[in-house]
Homo-oligomer: A and B are copies of this chain.
Amino acid sequence: MEGVDHLSHERSKAQFDVDEMKIVWAGSRDAFEVSDRIGRLVASDPAFRKDNRTILARKELFKNTLRKAAHAWKRIIELRLTEEEASRLRFFVDEPAFTDLHWGMFVPAIKGQGTDEQQQKWLPLAYKMQIIGCYAQTELGHGSNVQGLETTATFDPKTDEFIINSPTLTSSKWWPGGLGKVSTHSVVYARLITDGRDYGIHGFIVQLRSLDDHLPLPGITVGDIGNKFGSGAYNTMDNGVLRFDNVRIPRDQMLMRISQVTREGKYVQSNVPRQLVYGTMVYVRQTIVSDASCALSRAVCIATRYSAVRRQFGSHNGGAETQVIDYKTQQSRLFPLLASAYAFRFVGEWLKWLYTDVTQRLQAKDFSTLPEAHACTAGLKSLTTTATADGIEECRKLCGGHGYLSCSGLPELFAVYIPACTYEGDNVVLLLQVARFLMKTVSQLVSGKKPVGTTAYLGRAEHLMQCRSKVQKAEDWLIPSVVLEAFEARATRLSVACAQNLSKFSNQEEGFLELSADLVEAAVAHCQLIVVSKFIEKLQEDIPGKGVKEQLQTLCYVYALHLLHKHLGDFTSTGCITPKQASLANEQLRSLYSQVRPNVVALVDAFNYTDHYLGSILGRYDGNVYPNLYEEAWKDPLNDSVVPDGYHEYIRPMLKQQLRNARL
């Protein structure tokens, strides 16, 4: 079957230049080239095989992850990979590991919160992996509310040390990745107590394990918190539990860029603005949005290819059945997810720009755009991760029964992805932050304060509160300004309605709590508007390649109009659009699906994922699904023997009516 391509017919139908689309997806020709090269490198290295991941017991699985991480690091050194290439390599290895936290949290925390001196001391060790670090913030009893953390760091002026302690069971550090079994060091967040006063949460560098024999240092209890969702998936990560029994660290291991404790135990603020911390948050959340587009596109790629391979019903006179992807029910569930993957990709790109912009402003001590940037990234993190988690599961369902097999790749992709909805800010808590910002923005409109950035549209609230959509025929829903205005009007009206309802409460905080479900919906409307508007902005760019821009236009309207349909109640109950216009939007959406259909396999090819990275028999590039599913089945350990272990003890006595005397 070498060289077979069951999807060649689908590929030949594409009405656009796939290679050019690959570059759009990657972000630039350079980014594409790096990604493509590293993707192939990983795929061709047998040390990175991952097809046995879901059948390994936890210990073997974990040991195998350590092996891969070491091999990856070895290759990074041998090939002298750049930082970007190394990061792509870890991406394609596609296995959560302590290195994610080391590079993604430990190093950035020291960079962001350490003094120059501290950076000079710790970063070279971390860069060479002579120490391995993690990020210990959340506790057994404390997640989202960082200010509620209980771990203490009490300054002892006698010895010039901090005493790190876990005063209660619920103060045990809980969840940090890389902590359970691997990290030698951690940035630990604890209540700083000095001079008899509690100064709130600060970060400290704490060594956890001996660099000689890896044993926990005195006073430290550390272990893994146990099995998590799925087989394989995040169980390759040693999420950990950590308790301190009055562990002493030198004073200079407090991260002192923003505030310091002096030799005498005085707490002093530095002249570095605290807002810098928010800059880091913008960065981290931007990467999460970008990861969302990867995870979603991966699921969509699998579901799309298999939907083109799979046939059900519709056979006439014994001919082939209909390809599942030709059913409108399949299209109306799958194509919006495809469009979302592209939409999230572009909004992620834009967030990169936003981060750069915010950073430059912060350096110039301009904090004016920070609250808006913060609300915007919080909201987009929430929106994209929720949609991606739901979308992956929807893709699994779109693959029918076979999607439930581990070898479809979708169960593991779901299980490994969903923590993104919780970490770095619970998605509902984040939307409430967005809502709070929106309410503030709305309340300041009367005072004439001009909203900025993604909330600029609220400056046109007067118009948006009373405008009526001009749509008269289905094609009018393809006019960018028409779509944009509908989304702006909806977001404005939901926000203003919340603000009006809030104003009826004498106690604003109580009102906010009481109306929080409505506020979340207003926040979602605002965030969806951002994604739609950034997609439309992307289309204003010069995009080369035959048919590429046309495809993106189609996807943009699929994204917008499917949202409009899904949240129709918002649009119609606020009078933004009429029922007739809603029905025209639906009509247009159906016609867009027909336009996507011939291009759909090529549109997922444009993600340029290797079969190794996809890790799915259903999503194979060549579409040669069934022989490979059949072959894969026999690899299950249960098939090691024809008669299963347990037959003689349990099945035979049952069949032979000899259970009475059996010990079970």
Contacts and interface: CB of A to CB of B under 8 A. Distances in A.
Contact of A73 (B230, B513, B654): B654
Given A77-B659, A517-B590, 17 more contacts: A55-B57, A66-B651, A70-B651, A129-B654, A131-B655, A141-B626, A169-B627, A172-B630, A213-B643, A215-B643, A228-B411, A229-B404, A231-B235, A238-B644, A393-B393, A404-B419, A572-B572
B226 A181 contact: no
A108 interface: no
A642 B238 contact: no
A214 B568 CA distance: 59
A312 interface: yes
Contact of A241 (B144, B426, B633): B633
Interface string A565-578: 10111111111000
A448 interface: no
A364 B627 CA distance: 49
B664 A328 contact: no
B70 A659 contact: yes
Nearest to A240: B633
A397 interface: yes
Contacts of A554: none
Contacts of A253: none
B144 A312 contact: yes
A74 interface: yes
Nearest to A629: B140
B132 A62 contact: no
Interface string A633-664: 11111111011111101111111010110101
Given A226-B633, A569-B568, A650-B69, A182 B664 contact: no
A12 interface: no
Interface string A398-415: 001100111100010001
Contact of A630 (B224, B235, B241, B515): B241
A418 interface: yes
A9 interface: no
Nearest to A513: B328
A160 B572 CA distance: 68
A639 B224 contact: yes
B226 A646 contact: no
A321 B572 CA distance: 39
B405 A55 contact: no
Contact of A230 (B415, B635, B651): B415
Nearest to A211: B655
A518 interface: yes
Interface string A111-140: 000000000000000001111100000101
Contact of A231 (B71, B230, B573, B636): B230
A148 interface: yes
A199 interface: no
A497 B262 CA distance: 75
A380 B611 CA distance: 39
9 tightest CB-CB pairs across the interface, nearest first?
A568-B569, A229-B411, A63-B646, A332-B517, A573-B579, A70-B650, A66-B646, A227-B406, A71-B664
A154 interface: no
